[in-house]
């Protein structure tokens, strides 16, 4: 077994170095709607590399704009993180492509992920696409969240 990454063994502030992943979809029913139409939601899981603490945010869809809003909520509650790791999911890769495209076109845009992350001073890293052992920390968290949420909900829809 190889050595752990430096970010996991060096003492640091909580969530200063974090991993992010999505799980879902889960179905909810809004209370204010008369017919109670079911809507898909997703859960964004942030995992602290040092303490293995988990922060859960609800996301309405898997777009880059929804992820940026989730990231802003996370930073307002937990503080800014210096490094943010993610897998090569479509939302993250799409946000990264937007990041590069908008940086070339517009230098001072606050509406995209690039402007937001550069203004906050956050380094975003993708894991290598093949080794699943690198992402095991937050994949175990996703598995645990799904297991406990399905046990509590037990097939019924949330409101």
Instruction: Give bridge partners of residue 20 from the DSSP assignment.
Output: 46, 86
Selected residue with higher pLDDT from 132 and 118: 118
What's the CA gap between 30 and 40, in Å, rounded?
11
Q: Per-residue pLDDT for 1 more than 70?
A: no
Output the average pLDDT for the chain. 77
Q: What angle do CA 69, 52, 73 make, to 5 degrees?
A: 15
Name the strands in the sheet holding 38-48, side by side, starting at the edge strand that comes first in the sequence. Answer: 54-59, 38-48, 17-29, 83-86, 123-126
Q: How far apart are CA 82 and CA 17, in angstroms?
A: 6
- 22, β-bridge pairs: 44
**Over residues 147-152, mean pLDDT:** 83
Check residue 74 and give its pLDDT: 92
Higher pLDDT, 151 or 96: 151
pLDDT of residue 110: 43
Q: Which tens digits make up the pLDDT trace of 73-117?
A: 998 999 888 888 877 666 666 666 665 665 554 444 445 666 677
Give residue-wise pLDDT tens across range 37-52: 888 889 999 999 888 8
More confident residue, 70 or 130: 70
């Amino acid at each position: 077994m190889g050595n752990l990454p430096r970010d996991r063994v060096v003492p640091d502030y909580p969530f200063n170095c974090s991993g992010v992943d999505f799980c879902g979809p889960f179905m909810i029913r809004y209370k204010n709607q008369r017919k109670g139409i079911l809507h898909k939601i997703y859960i964004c899981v942030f995992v602290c590399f040092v303490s293995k603490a988990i922060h859960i945010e609800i996301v309405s869809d898997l777009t880059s704009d929804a992820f940026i809003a989730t990231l802003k909520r996370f930073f307002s509650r937990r503080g800014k993180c210096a490094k943010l790791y993610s897998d090569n999911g479509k939302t993250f890769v799409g946000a990264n492509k937007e990041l590069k495209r908008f940086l070339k076109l517009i230098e001072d845009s606050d509406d995209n992920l690039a402007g937001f992350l550069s203004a906050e001073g956050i380094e975003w890293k993708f894991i290598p696409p093949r080794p699943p052992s690198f992402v095991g920390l937050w994949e175990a968290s996703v598995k645990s969240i799904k297991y406990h949420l399905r046990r509590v909900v037990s097939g019924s829809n949330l409101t």
